[in-house]
Structure 1
Amino acid sequence: MTEINLRGLDKNELLQLQKDVAKELKEYDERSRKEARAKLEAEAAALGFTLEELTGKKPIKKANPPKYAHPENPTMTWSGRGRQPAWIKEHLEAGKSLDDLQIRK
């Protein structure tokens, strides 16, 4: 393993190193988890089952993708399901259409 002289780094360099290490650890865990799942699914398939049949768990459902976005702040979105956000209500109360906020692909 490469040795790094941490005492020779300033605070900003140490903070960046910390972020880089945390990101790499997260990606490493994700890769390891995917590899393990693939191995387990292959073993279950070889025995004539799905992994979900053996564990009794259903696959995790994905969240509904957003259908509407705030006109001034596109990071504020709504899937069109559940309770309407305040910005949607304000838009509709102003007499505007929900179609105006629809995300176009």
Structure 2
Amino acid sequence: MDLSKLELPELLTLKSDLEQEIKRREHDAKDKARKQIVEIAKTYGLSVEDVLAKTGTTRKPVEAKYRHPDHPELTWTGRGRKPVWVQELLASGKTMEDLTI
């Protein structure tokens, strides 16, 4: 098809038809994939929820290693960027050992 020979209204109609066809095919592809997933789950005696459930062990939170000496609710694990309160205490002359829990 030589698009350069089409008039603007014909191109707009073609564009609209193309967008509708793409949506229809995407819908059909999703339906097909859902059916395949259900069939695979049934083959192994599983529900779809079982297949999609997260697996593995859950990670427990990392315990804090540092605590503000005057405000014990302020803690830090030592991972990531230093919190502002840690930076301020270090700038005032404290050491990381002073903040260790």
TM-score normalised over the length of structure 1: 0.48
Greater relative contact order, per chain length (Cα 8 Å cut-off, separation 6+): 2
TM-score normalised over the length of structure 2: 0.50
**Highest CA radius of gyration, 1 or 2?**
2
